[in-house]
Amino acid sequence: MTQNLSIDSNRLWASILETAAFGATAKGGIRRLALSAEDAQVRAWFRSACEAIGCSVQIDSMGSMFARRPGRNPALAPIAIGSHLDTQPTGGKFDGVIGVLAGLEVLRRLHEAGIETEAPIELINWTNEEGARFAPAMLASGAFAGVFTEEYGHSRTDRDGIRFDDAMDAIAARGTAPLGHRLSAHFELHIEQGPILEEEGKTIGVVSGVQAIRWYEVTLSGSDGHAGATPMRLRRDALLGTARVIEAVNRIARAHAPDAVGTVGLIESKPNSRNVVPGDVFFSIDLRHPDDAVLAEMDISLRDAVAEIAAADGLGLALEQTWLSPAVHFDADCRARIAEAADAYGYGHRAIVSGAGHDSAYIARVAPTAMIFVPCAGGLSHNEAESATQNDVAAGANVLLHAVLATDRALGA
Amino acid sequence: MTQNLSIDSNRLWASILETAAFGATAKGGIRRLALSAEDAQVRAWFRSACEAIGCSVQIDSMGSMFARRPGRNPALAPIAIGSHLDTQPTGGKFDGVIGVLAGLEVLRRLHEAGIETEAPIELINWTNEEGARFAPAMLASGAFAGVFTEEYGHSRTDRDGIRFDDAMDAIAARGTAPLGHRLSAHFELHIEQGPILEEEGKTIGVVSGVQAIRWYEVTLSGSDGHAGATPMRLRRDALLGTARVIEAVNRIARAHAPDAVGTVGLIESKPNSRNVVPGDVFFSIDLRHPDDAVLAEMDISLRDAVAEIAAADGLGLALEQTWLSPAVHFDADCRARIAEAADAYGYGHRAIVSGAGHDSAYIARVAPTAMIFVPCAGGLSHNEAESATQNDVAAGANVLLHAVLATDRALGA
């Protein structure tokens, strides 16, 4: 019977549009930073929607939400569907959101079809995936997987100095469930956030893994000086040094084309006044490559380049690698079930490497895990104009449903 | 009798330290942005100090404060001593402040010595000289001199969108005196904000004029994109383009060494998140040269470079020149009186061009004007570590006193 089951595309799409109101921006995107007032709104909506179909909702000490639909065999660890409802400061309506809401649609469909699975199904909203408010990204899924300690997670601060645990308490988002529990599998549907599926006309990406990521925080320190009266030869301009590092990051990424990427996304210059030579600049660097060894080479090139620039410009330098996420390879069985589900529907698919980090990258350390990608227009993401079609999102949700059911059958066999 | 009069160095120094408490920073500097709560404190102190020695205080519609000591001949336009009490966000204790407080010390000395001048003496605190909160700089002295209309001045907004006139009303700093009145002369004592006097061991700079200044506001617009999933070849990174403009500004200034300077002081990148390619960057450019014609050449080089960078990187470009201050040449008689006063005291002096803009640059358009520079340590200014010695500041104040008295004698002759 479950072989012919499909999700309700219109209901899924309506839930995407409904929750997009929590933090909606004028340009059609979402600003819903982790543990903000807008995040509190969507979290309340999520709990209510899950409870309405008979799920119990538990929250762990990092604020991650677990909505559980019981199975026939309580001895089996749940099959998880997880992603995140937080967004970038100028994020879109799809990144993270469709993974959670497609999971909700799967639960709703199972509920109304009266299907009892062998294992419990657990729908998860991971806290602070984006890392936009609290670095590093994927903080709560990392804590769940034992990559970070709870103390580390709680003590992260945003750029205003607010601690993660205080932000959690400010919106009553802290739960009492213990951090980490067994999962039989973890599936995550996500937009590709890149151009490949669209370019090749494929509906489904069977994600083979996630590229390795390194994050850095850099401060260059020169000397504030009057912009009119400080001769060029006497300047120690931290922003000029930063400009040179930005150029170097671009050069290093392009030297490892086509797979490498390098980005300076965050910059804060002080005192940030029109007629003062900037004496102090703080900025972030993000380097990624599918191959750990190549990323390690890029790391060396980066450190050499930054040190050289700082020395040449007479600038003080503090460079800290704040995050290293090794390359991830997803579970073969889970990937096969995704490909089979896509074949059953006749959706075109291909294997693909994720350029972005995802909660699944950490959960893969503690449970069989895989991801499903669907195309997004122009590969655009972390952007208010981020866009995916109703048909593609529905296709991804159908694949998710059947990959979960196939996993459940395997557990029951 | 007035020939042997000197200012009270200790009292002047004490007033500098006393007012430095209004907006004092942990690093020994001052943060006293125009029309802020801290500015309100120092403005109240100034009024009270002037009234205590019998001066009447008028305020014009841009908030500039005029403390007048009557002269023997009310038909004569006042001899003005003016500078500013606002500071940079991380400013020092001397920039602007010593010009106003040395003027106060001159009035105090004349008051206790019972000296009646021919012309009234007017001590002026010009509003928003720094331009750190409301661009452009020297806004109120420019309005006084007819360079800007009152409507233009009132409608300037800070980076939070607060209008100048609303900020004025928020601290009750708007006055009813008409904008602009006749001055017989305008003298301003200031720290050099450059290294020349210190390097040459001179106590007094007789300022011949102010270099020409152009300010620009630039926005580069690319596309926000996911830092992990957007291939380098598909990026339109507004911060990378900005880095290239910062490098070009530096190159253009150095191509016109040693007199040219070029600075990017203010930068705001959006969305400013670690894992998002920046789609939108706003920044300022400040170019200066003593020769209007050379600055015009630099302007052309800048526009060419920015347009080329934007085109090559596929970025949208908005570049606006927001301010042009032509080179200023100060009044020969006023300069001669400064040099004579320095000679009378035996202070070493030299002619010098101001690298910074000053209120005197605008007042020179409507009154005979000159400036007195004293050394500051390392040429450092717009910096909390800005430093000048008590002896040098006192020397500058003595020269100011006698330049004013010599001007008064000339008016009475």
pLDDT (tens digit per residue) in B314-336: 999 999 999 998 999 999 999 99
- Residues of chain B positioned with their CB less than 8 A from the CB of A193: 226, 228-230
CB-CB neighbors (< 8 A) of A248 in chain B: none
Assess whether B165 and B40 both reside in one domain. yes
Mutate which of A190, A273, A325 to disrupt the B interface (most B C-beta within 10 Å)? A273
Say if the Cβ atoms of B213 and A231 lie within 8 Å.
Answer: no
Q: HSE on the CB side for A255, CA within 13 Å? A: 14
B126 touches B138 (CB < 8 A): yes
Helix A390-412 crosses helix A332-345 at what angle (to 10 degrees)? 130
Q: Among A226, A234, A355, select the one facing B356 at the smallest CB separation.
A: A226
pLDDT per position as a tens digit, B55-71: 999 999 999 999 999 99
What SS3 class is residue A261?
strand
Q: CA separation (Å) from B173 to A400, B67, B91, B100? A: 65, 15, 22, 17
In B177-290, where do the E strands start and end? 185-191, 204-210, 212-221, 225-226, 261-263, 267-270, 276-277, 280-289
The answer to whether the CB atoms of B192 and A277 lie below 8 A apart is no
Question: Are residues A240 and B250, on separate chains, in Cβ contact within 8 Å?
Answer: yes
Same domain membership, residue A254 and residue A128: no
Q: Identify the three-state secondary structure at position B124.
A: strand
Considering the domain architecture, whether residues B82 and B72 belong to the same structural domain is answered as: yes
Q: What is the pLDDT of residue B325?
A: 86
CB A105 within 8 A of CB A97: no
> How many CB atoms are located within 10 Å of the residue B257 CB?
11
- Answer yes or no: do B275 and A226 touch at CB < 8 A: no
Between CA A267 and CA A259 the distance in angstroms is: 25
Which residues on A lie below 8 Å from B254 (Cβ)? 232
State whether B303 and B359 are in the same domain. no
The β-bridge relationship of strands B121-125 and B261-263 is unpaired
* CA angle, B240 then B246 then B252, to 5°: 135
| Domain that includes residue A58, residue range | 2-210+327-412
Provide the CA B256 distance to its chain's centre, in angstroms. 24
Q: Are residues A347 and A306 in the same domain?
A: no
Maximum Cα interatomic distance, chain A, rounded to a whole number of Å: 80
Inter-chain residue contact A380 with B225, CB threshold 8 Å: yes
Q: Which of B270, B290, B325 is the last residue of a domain?
A: B325
Chain A residues close to B247, C-beta within 8 Å: 240, 243-244, 247
Residue in this structure with the two tokens 């936009």, named with its chain if needed: A132
Mean pLDDT, range B349-366, rounded to an integer = 95
Q: How far apart are CA B46 and CA B22, in angstroms?
A: 12
Closest by CA to B358, choosing from B92, B82, B135, B165, is B82
Element (H, E) at A189: strand A185-191
Helix (H) or strand (E) segment spanning residue B105: helix B97-113
Closest CA to B239 of B287, B274, B215, B286: B274
Which two three-digit tokens encode residue A155? 């003590």
| Cβ atoms < 10 Å from Cβ of A326 | 14
Residue B244: its pLDDT value, please?
A: 98
Partner residue facing A131 (CB), from B225, B274, B279? B274
The reply to whether B332 and B320 lie within a common domain is no
Read off the CATH number of the domain in which A315 is found.
3.30.70.360
Rounded Cα gap, residues A361 and A145, in angstroms: 10
For position A188, which CATH number holds? 3.40.630.10
- Joined tokens for residue B217: 């506001």
CA A356, CA B146: separation in Å to the nearest integer? 56
Contact B83, B18 (CB under 8 A): no
A337 with A394, same domain? yes
Nearest-Cα distance to chain A for B277, in Å, is 6
Q: Are residues B84 and B112 in the same domain?
A: yes
Q: Cβ separation of B272 and A384 shorter than 8 Å?
A: no
Say yes or no for a CB contact (<8 Å) between A227 and B273: no
**Are A197 and A72 contained in the same domain?**
yes
**Which residue, A325, A353, A386, sits at the end of a domain?**
A325
> Are both A156 and A229 inside the same structural domain?
no
- B188 vs B207: CA distance, rounded Å: 10
List pLDDT tens digits, range A199-254.
899 999 999 999 999 999 999 999 988 899 888 998 999 999 999 999 999 999 99
- Tell me if A246 and B243 make a contact (CB, 8 A cut-off): yes
Q: What is the pLDDT of residue A3?
A: 59
Residues of A in contact with B218 (CB under 8 A): none
- Amino acid identity, position B59: I
pLDDT-derived band at B413 (thresholds 50, 70, 90) equals confident
Q: Do B224 and A131 touch (CB under 8 A)?
A: no
With cut-offs at 50, 70 and 90, classify the pLDDT of residue B1.
very low
Mean pLDDT, rounded, for B281-292:
97
- Token pair of A267, please? 């910059």
Determine the Cα–Cα distance for residues A253 and A266; give it in Å rounded to an integer: 17
Q: Is the pLDDT of residue B3 over 70?
A: no
Closest CA to A217 of A133, A311, A136: A136
pLDDT band at B363 (very low <50, low <70, confident <90, very high): very high
Taking contacts as CB-CB distances below 8 angstroms, the residues of chain A near B240 are 246-247, 250, 264
Q: A319 and A332 share a domain?
A: no
For the question of an ipTM over 0.90, the answer is no
Percent with pLDDT over 90 in chain B: 92
Interchain contact, B380 vs A193, CB within 8 Å: no
Predicted model pTM: 0.78
**Amino acid identity, position A127:** T
Q: CB of B164 within 8 A of CB of B155? A: yes
Q: Is the per-residue pLDDT at B47 higher than 60?
A: yes
Instruction: Using CB atoms, pick whichever of B232, B247, B286 lies closest to residue A261.
Output: B232
The residues of chain A scoring below 50 in pLDDT are 1
Statement to judge: residues A182 and A248 lie in one domain: no
CB contacts of A215 in chain B (<8 Å) are: 274
Per the structure, the count of domains in chain A is: 2
Distance CA A163, CA A250 (A): 32
Separation CA A201–CA B252 (nearest Å):
48
**Whether B277 and A135 lie within 8 Å, measured CB to CB:** no
Mean pLDDT value across residues B283-299: 97
Identify which of A90, A211, A268 has the shortest CB distance to residue B271: A90
C-alpha distance from A131 to closest chain B C-alpha (Å): 8
Instruction: Check the CA dihedral B131-B132-B135-B136 and report its sign.
Output: positive
Reading the block at residue B312, the tokens are 């090559």
Q: Has residue B2 got a pLDDT over 70?
A: no
A363 near A313, Cβ under 8 Å?
A: no
**B264/A382 Cβ within 8 A:** no
Please give the pLDDT value at position A379: 87
Contact (Cβ atoms closer than 8 angstroms) between residue A206 and residue A339: yes
AA letter at B352: I
Q: Which of B288, B305, B325 is the last residue of a domain?
A: B325
Omega cis (within 30) before A271: yes
- Beta carbons of B90 and A270 less than 8 Å apart: yes
Answer for the pair B190, B83: CB distance below 8 angstroms, yes or no. yes
